[in-house]
Structure 1
Protein backbone atom coordinates (compact mmCIF):
# COMPACT_ATOMS: atom_id res chain seq x y z
CA UNK A 1 0.00 0.00 0.00
CA UNK A 2 1.30 3.46 -0.93
CA UNK A 3 1.73 6.09 1.72
CA UNK A 4 -0.92 8.79 1.63
CA UNK A 5 1.44 11.65 2.32
CA UNK A 6 4.98 12.90 2.13
CA UNK A 7 6.09 11.39 5.42
CA UNK A 8 9.36 13.35 5.54
CA UNK A 9 7.64 16.70 5.00
CA UNK A 10 4.92 16.00 7.58
CA UNK A 11 7.47 14.72 10.08
CA UNK A 12 9.59 17.85 9.61
CA UNK A 13 6.54 20.06 10.19
CA UNK A 14 5.63 18.15 13.35
CA UNK A 15 9.18 18.44 14.67
CA UNK A 16 9.00 22.22 14.15
CA UNK A 17 5.69 22.27 16.04
CA UNK A 18 7.30 20.20 18.78
CA UNK A 19 9.96 22.91 19.04
CA UNK A 20 7.24 25.57 19.25
CA UNK A 21 5.60 23.68 22.11
CA UNK A 22 8.93 23.42 23.96
CA UNK A 23 9.31 27.18 23.45
CA UNK A 24 5.87 27.80 24.95
CA UNK A 25 6.75 25.67 27.96
CA UNK A 26 9.95 27.68 28.39
CA UNK A 27 7.98 30.92 28.16
CA UNK A 28 5.63 29.73 30.91
CA UNK A 29 8.54 28.65 33.10
CA UNK A 30 10.21 32.04 32.57
CA UNK A 31 6.97 33.85 33.48
CA UNK A 32 6.65 35.62 30.12
CA UNK A 33 3.58 37.81 29.52
CA UNK A 34 0.35 35.86 28.98
CA UNK A 35 -0.34 37.74 25.74
CA UNK A 36 2.98 36.54 24.29
CA UNK A 37 2.28 32.97 25.36
CA UNK A 38 -1.17 33.09 23.77
CA UNK A 39 0.31 34.36 20.51
CA UNK A 40 2.68 31.39 20.43
CA UNK A 41 -0.13 28.95 21.28
CA UNK A 42 -2.10 30.39 18.35
CA UNK A 43 0.90 29.93 16.08
CA UNK A 44 1.34 26.30 17.14
CA UNK A 45 -2.38 25.67 16.67
CA UNK A 46 -2.28 27.17 13.16
CA UNK A 47 0.76 25.04 12.31
CA UNK A 48 -1.03 21.88 13.47
CA UNK A 49 -4.08 22.82 11.43
CA UNK A 50 -1.96 23.33 8.31
CA UNK A 51 -0.30 19.96 8.90
CA UNK A 52 -3.76 18.38 9.15
CA UNK A 53 -4.68 19.99 5.83
CA UNK A 54 -1.59 18.49 4.22
CA UNK A 55 -2.40 15.03 5.59
CA UNK A 56 -6.01 15.28 4.41
CA UNK A 57 -4.92 16.49 0.99
CA UNK A 58 -2.52 13.55 0.70
CA UNK A 59 -5.30 11.20 1.75
CA UNK A 60 -7.54 12.54 -1.00
CA UNK A 61 -4.86 12.51 -3.71
CA UNK A 62 -3.57 9.04 -2.95
CA UNK A 63 -5.78 6.86 -0.76
CA UNK A 64 -9.11 8.07 -2.11
CA UNK A 65 -8.10 7.97 -5.75
CA UNK A 66 -6.46 4.56 -5.34
CA UNK A 67 -9.53 3.18 -3.57
CA UNK A 68 -11.94 4.42 -6.22
CA UNK A 69 -9.73 3.21 -9.08
CA UNK A 70 -9.49 -0.23 -7.49
CA UNK A 71 -13.27 -0.56 -7.28
CA UNK A 72 -13.72 0.07 -3.54
CA UNK A 73 -15.82 3.22 -4.00
CA UNK A 74 -18.21 2.82 -1.04
CA UNK A 75 -15.52 1.85 1.47
CA UNK A 76 -13.26 4.62 0.19
CA UNK A 77 -15.95 7.27 0.48
CA UNK A 78 -16.80 6.11 4.01
CA UNK A 79 -13.14 6.47 4.98
CA UNK A 80 -12.96 9.91 3.34
CA UNK A 81 -16.02 11.11 5.24
CA UNK A 82 -14.48 9.79 8.46
CA UNK A 83 -11.21 11.61 7.76
CA UNK A 84 -13.05 14.85 7.04
CA UNK A 85 -15.07 14.47 10.24
CA UNK A 86 -11.89 13.93 12.27
CA UNK A 87 -10.23 16.94 10.68
CA UNK A 88 -13.27 19.17 11.23
CA UNK A 89 -13.08 18.45 14.96
CA UNK A 90 -9.76 20.28 15.11
CA UNK A 91 -10.82 23.62 16.47
Structure 2
Protein backbone atom coordinates (compact mmCIF):
# COMPACT_ATOMS: atom_id res chain seq x y z
CA UNK A 1 0.00 0.00 0.00
CA UNK A 2 1.21 3.50 -0.78
CA UNK A 3 1.22 6.36 1.72
CA UNK A 4 -2.15 8.06 2.11
CA UNK A 5 -3.77 11.07 3.71
CA UNK A 6 -7.45 11.79 4.33
CA UNK A 7 -9.12 14.84 2.86
CA UNK A 8 -12.57 16.42 2.82
CA UNK A 9 -14.34 19.74 2.23
CA UNK A 10 -14.94 21.98 5.23
CA UNK A 11 -18.64 22.83 5.43
CA UNK A 12 -18.16 26.34 6.82
CA UNK A 13 -16.04 27.75 3.98
CA UNK A 14 -15.82 24.99 1.35
CA UNK A 15 -12.03 24.72 1.53
CA UNK A 16 -10.22 21.44 1.07
CA UNK A 17 -9.01 20.23 4.47
CA UNK A 18 -6.74 17.43 5.61
CA UNK A 19 -7.08 15.24 8.69
CA UNK A 20 -4.26 15.67 11.21
CA UNK A 21 -2.97 13.10 13.67
CA UNK A 22 -4.81 14.86 16.51
CA UNK A 23 -8.05 14.27 14.50
CA UNK A 24 -8.57 17.96 13.78
CA UNK A 25 -8.68 19.35 10.24
CA UNK A 26 -6.10 21.62 8.62
CA UNK A 27 -6.08 23.58 5.38
CA UNK A 28 -2.35 22.84 5.10
CA UNK A 29 -1.54 19.50 3.46
CA UNK A 30 1.84 19.51 5.24
CA UNK A 31 -0.02 18.95 8.53
CA UNK A 32 -1.91 15.88 7.28
CA UNK A 33 -1.50 12.56 9.06
CA UNK A 34 0.26 10.14 6.70
CA UNK A 35 -0.61 6.45 7.02
CA UNK A 36 0.88 3.44 5.29
CA UNK A 37 -1.39 0.54 6.30
CA UNK A 38 -4.96 -0.32 5.37
CA UNK A 39 -5.89 -0.47 9.06
CA UNK A 40 -4.55 3.03 9.75
CA UNK A 41 -6.32 4.35 6.65
CA UNK A 42 -9.61 2.80 7.80
CA UNK A 43 -9.20 4.38 11.24
CA UNK A 44 -8.65 7.85 9.74
CA UNK A 45 -11.60 7.44 7.39
CA UNK A 46 -13.78 6.43 10.33
CA UNK A 47 -12.71 9.55 12.20
CA UNK A 48 -13.49 11.65 9.14
CA UNK A 49 -16.91 10.06 8.73
CA UNK A 50 -17.70 10.93 12.36
CA UNK A 51 -17.07 14.59 11.46
CA UNK A 52 -19.44 14.22 8.50
CA UNK A 53 -22.12 13.12 10.97
CA UNK A 54 -21.34 16.18 13.13
CA UNK A 55 -21.66 18.48 10.07
CA UNK A 56 -18.04 19.64 10.13
CA UNK A 57 -16.86 18.24 6.77
CA UNK A 58 -18.27 16.62 3.65
CA UNK A 59 -16.97 14.04 1.16
CA UNK A 60 -14.22 12.33 3.18
CA UNK A 61 -11.81 10.14 1.20
CA UNK A 62 -8.20 8.92 1.15
CA UNK A 63 -5.59 10.28 -1.26
CA UNK A 64 -2.36 8.64 -2.44
CA UNK A 65 0.68 10.75 -1.60
CA UNK A 66 4.42 10.65 -1.91
CA UNK A 67 6.65 12.22 0.72
CA UNK A 68 8.77 15.05 -0.70
CA UNK A 69 11.18 16.73 1.72
CA UNK A 70 9.13 15.41 4.63
CA UNK A 71 5.83 16.78 3.29
CA UNK A 72 3.01 14.72 1.76
CA UNK A 73 2.42 15.59 -1.89
CA UNK A 74 -0.64 14.15 -3.65
CA UNK A 75 0.23 12.00 -6.65
CA UNK A 76 -2.86 12.93 -8.70
CA UNK A 77 -3.22 16.31 -10.40
CA UNK A 78 -6.76 16.83 -9.09
CA UNK A 79 -5.56 16.59 -5.50
CA UNK A 80 -2.54 18.81 -6.14
CA UNK A 81 -4.90 21.45 -7.51
CA UNK A 82 -7.17 21.16 -4.45
CA UNK A 83 -4.15 21.90 -2.24
CA UNK A 84 -3.53 25.16 -4.10
CA UNK A 85 -7.06 26.54 -3.92
CA UNK A 86 -9.25 28.05 -6.64
CA UNK A 87 -7.62 28.07 -10.06
CA UNK A 88 -9.84 30.66 -11.72
CA UNK A 89 -8.54 33.71 -9.79
CA UNK A 90 -4.98 33.64 -8.51
CA UNK A 91 -5.51 36.96 -6.73
CA UNK A 92 -7.97 35.19 -4.40
CA UNK A 93 -7.73 32.17 -2.15
CA UNK A 94 -4.57 30.46 -1.02
CA UNK A 95 -2.50 31.72 -3.95
CA UNK A 96 -2.94 35.35 -2.85
CA UNK A 97 -1.66 34.70 0.66
TM-score interval, normalised by the smaller of the two chains: under 0.3
User: Quick check: which one's helix share is greater?
Assistant: 1
TM-score (norm 1): 0.27
Q: Higher Cα Rg: structure 1 or 2?
A: 1
